[in-house]
A and B are shown apart, each in its own frame.
Chain A
Amino acid sequence: MVSVINTVDTSHEDMIHDAQMDYYGTRLATCSSDRSVKIFDVKNGGQILVADLRGHEGPVWQVAWAHPMYGNILASCSYDRKVIIWKEENNSWEKMYEYTGHDSSVNSVCWGPYDFGLILACGSSDGAISLLTFSGDQQWEIKKINNAHTIGCNAVSWAPAVVPGSLIDQPSGQKPNYIKRFVSGGCDNLVKLWKEEDGQWKEDQKLEAHSDWVRDVGWAPSIGLPSSTIASCSQDGRVFIWTCDDPSGNTWTAKLLHKFSDVVWHVSWSITGNILAVSGGDNKVTLWKESADGQWACISDINKGQGAVSNEQ
């Protein structure tokens, strides 16, 4: 059974679109249609408002925490076509950088693995995906993939920083030969894989299975096996699990996790990548786990509708 352990009253004046815990689970960032991004300290069940960040001129869709080794950095993206990167300096949060290179709403932001440096992927309704790389001293290098998805891109998610098969044949002492990859989902019903080659981003794979807009994608964390796993969910109510077992990353097979009765908005992997959380318009959050024989089973159901959760505090 699931129980609520903490309810944070964010005082947002409109719909909340995203809530993300930081790396250690001690801070919570939320963003809303009220154009603000708020940061709370939620250690030990508390809720102290640490910052109320204003800077967007439209609903803010997503927030993403960068790895703590770069400091306390948060990225936010909004309908106002902007991506803002906020940084905590001397106990106060300030705008570190503002990116306005998109022509339409930016729907999704995702920080890459820390091994790649400080790099942010942004997906926008103008169909493009931008990659912002911090090159030091307030400078950000921009790379843009135009027409990544026709009509628009809804979600981006990075692959973990491993060379597939790294557990097996990694010569020690050498700087690892990282291949930067990420997955995106768009309004063209497609899930696309992107790879960086010689400094250029190229479309690596096109995965077709959905019959409506892809709303979210998630690349599962790696546990060192030579296989990769991606989850995608769509307006068509389906969640697919894509796996690739060969190290070259060429053959992807889709498995239908489940067909839900309503649009599925988000998918999210656990730290070790063995549990997937799915949420959707049917007002339910479900958890899925892969059993030993390769079938996915629902291990928990959480109903969260109006008044459906008993508040045990």
Chain B
Amino acid sequence: NWLKNCDTTLFTFFCFLHPWGLCSNSFFLCISSGLSTGGCPFVHEVRKDEDICSPILRKLFNESHHIFVGLQGIRDDLPSKNKKTQFVSISKNYRSVIRACMEELQRISPVFFLQVSILLAVELIWNLCEVLFIDAAPAGSLLLHLLDWVRLHKADVDEKARDVLQSESPTEHQAYWDVVISYVLQGRMDEARQVLMKQAALQPAARGMFKLLDNLLIKMPIFNPSGAQTLTEFDVKWRHWHEEVDRCLQDQSFASNPHLEVICKILVGDEDVLLEHKELLSTWYHFLVTRLLFSHPIVKPTELHYYAQSSMHMFLDTRSVPEPLDSILLAAFEFDIHQVIKDCSIALNNWWFVAHLTDLMDHCKLLQSHNLHFGSNLREFLLLEYASGLFTHHSLWQLAVDYFDHCPEFGRVYLELQIERVPLDTERKALKVLRICEQRQMTEQVRSICKIMAKGALRNNRLGSALSWSIRAKDAAFATLISERFLQDYCANGAFSDLDLIDNLGSAMLLSDRLTFLGKYREFHRLYGEKCFSDAAKLLLSLMTAKIAPRTFWMTLLTDALPLLEQKEVIFSADQTHELMFCLEDLTSGNCLPKPDRDEDIDTTKIEILRLALARNLAKAIVKEGTVEV
């Protein structure tokens, strides 16, 4: 039966999802390998993906958390136009956080190359989603937004331009024409013209040609969304311009200057010429936008996917397989939000990104129009995954709490399950966790945590701390246990520890009988210390007669009464003395437990002394009470 001839056995599985956005599931997996030949003594702790929680990424999580919480607070009753502006603004916030993180990583070390490129891709996708889904630009503005998008992600043009313009002889720089053409490809006509002017200045003979091209560049119509011009009017104007450019080509106006001719062909939207500049375009989506700029500037959102697909096919080598990023962008151009999210989840293995993006899109009410049976829960599903991952981190777990709070279906129970696993290393941390639980009325967790802390304190002999934790946990049994310990300590040492706590118990005293006794007993000591002897005496007596004191403690109490009995003035009245005597008799008569000899001796002596003191006090009391004051 015990011939377990296995090489690998899995024993513990904790799913701790890792917070770093790159990986989805990290967990402490204990794998031990046992071989039938002698055995391997190693146990491996395994985690999916590395722990690269650098401070920069921490900032990303912290700041995106801040944005997330703000987003949840946006009121539903705002008019939709205002909401859209807010949502776009929030989207931009998220993107700037990604950018900041990326730039810092770049600055620190080239070692983070992989992370930087992933963040770049993430921002690229997010930006496109913002343009297409959140801002939802209509025809006309759509192209402008796409141009911005491309320009933002192809920033190397400016760097090259700087190099060229700052060189000794810009027009002879090898990248000169590349810069001009790159600007034209991005629709940045003003910059293109500026650079072209350098060349124009050097060739007075060709001034006419340069003037002509300059003219074409200036006159290119750009749609103005806030202007009075309608889309149709713009279209008409654009077509005029397009025809003019075409005429220049037909007239061979630029024949003598191949560079200018190329630019002209680009302006007319010649796809073959565009494709000749693959290197400058570098990506198919740049090609797509440029193509649209020069052939279909009033492209409608619904037409995008057709152009996107064909652009991708034209641009990419027929043999090459589209990369995940390409598929994701294509899905976006096809307005298939769910596909985008799905592909991102798989390709990036990145809960951070999909969780926040999906949440934002859910707020924009973009997910509900899709007919998946877990449509609205997709948001919650992703947020739960992300937040669970955060919980493994020793300080980021606090961010996760807010995420769980905004998951209406399972957030609370996930939080309940996870928060109990936060190691309570310090009292401060325990208090933090406790506060979170108390704010959410998670009474079970509060009790559990308090019990754990009480147990820990008791183990380290910190009775006061243990007592206050068990009071907080409302754990009567434990409170009783600790009170017993206090009392035992008192019997052994003659003094109380943690007086402050016991003195200020207040109503918490009522939690357990033993605790009440402890509190009252301490009060007796206090009264005695303050020389309020008659009050002390009354309290002492009541502790026994009201049965608050456990019988095992009566001897001690009676011994405590001794100094009060031996005082010169009479403290205990005759009646009270009678009661004390009754208690003593009660105690001694019922006491038939066999005891070791020595104890019996001590006890007998004590009892004798008590009897004597009580008798003397009774005498004094009777006399005092019988005396008539003249």
Contact = CB atoms under 8 A, between A and B. Distances in A.
Interface string A299-313: 110101110010010
- Interface core residue of A187, A268, A271, A278 (most chain B CB under 10 Å): A271
Interface in A3-40: 3-21, 23-26, 28, 30, 32-34
B7 A283 contact: yes
Contacts of A8: 42-45
28 contacts: A2-B49, A4-B44, A4-B47, A6-B44, A12-B39, A16-B40, A18-B11, A19-B30, A19-B31, A19-B32, A19-B43, A21-B14, A28-B43, A105-B2, A125-B1, A263-B6, A266-B10, A268-B10, A271-B15, A272-B388, A272-B414, A274-B15, A275-B15, A277-B27, A300-B25, A302-B29, A304-B8, A306-B33
B9 A266 contact: yes
Given A223-B414, A223-B417, A292-B381, 10 more contacts: A5-B46, A19-B12, A59-B2, A265-B4, A271-B421, A272-B414, A274-B15, A275-B13, A279-B31, A304-B44
B472 to A, nearest CB: 13
Given A299-B25, A304-B44, A16 B7 contact: no
A99 B444 CA distance: 31
B30 A21 contact: yes
Contacts of B414: 223, 272
B534 to A, nearest CB: 41
A125 B5 CA distance: 18
A215 B448 CA distance: 33
A2 B48 CA distance: 4
B334 to A, nearest CB: 22
A272 B404 CA distance: 13
Contacts of A101: none
B13 A1 contact: no
- Interface core residue of B5, B50, B420, B444 (most chain A CB under 10 Å): B420
Interface in B439-470: 444, 448, 451-452, 455, 459
B8 A305 contact: yes
A17 B9 contact: yes
B422 interface: yes
Contacts of B44: 4, 6-8, 304, 309
A55 interface: no
A13 B41 contact: yes
B373 interface: yes
A73 to B, nearest CB: 10
A265 B41 contact: no
Interface stretch (A63-71, A194-202, A203-211): A63-71
Interface string B26-68: 0111111111101111111111111100000000000000000
Cβ-closest 4 pairs across A and B: A270-B15, A279-B10, A15-B34, A268-B13
B106 to A, nearest CB: 24
B496 interface: no
- Interface core residue of A3, A11, A33, A115 (most chain B CB under 10 Å): A3
A17 B4 contact: yes
Contact of A20 (B30, B36, B39, B384): B30
B423 A71 contact: no
Interface residues of A, number: 82
Given A71-B455, A312-B50, A7 B43 contact: yes
A270 B113 CA distance: 33
Contact of A269 (B9, B13, B41): B13
Nearest to B15: A270
Contacts of B7: 281, 283, 305-306
B475 to A, nearest CB: 9
Contacts of A20: 11-12, 30
Interface string B397-429: 000000000000010011001101111100000
Given A15-B35, A15-B39, A304-B8, A4 B45 contact: yes
Contacts of A281: 5-8
Nearest to A63: B11
A182 interface: no
Contacts of B94: none
Contacts of B388: 272
Nearest to B37: A15
A159 to B, nearest CB: 15
Contact of A270 (B5, B14, B35): B14
- Interface core residue of A11, A21, A88 (most chain B CB under 10 Å): A21
B41 A10 contact: yes
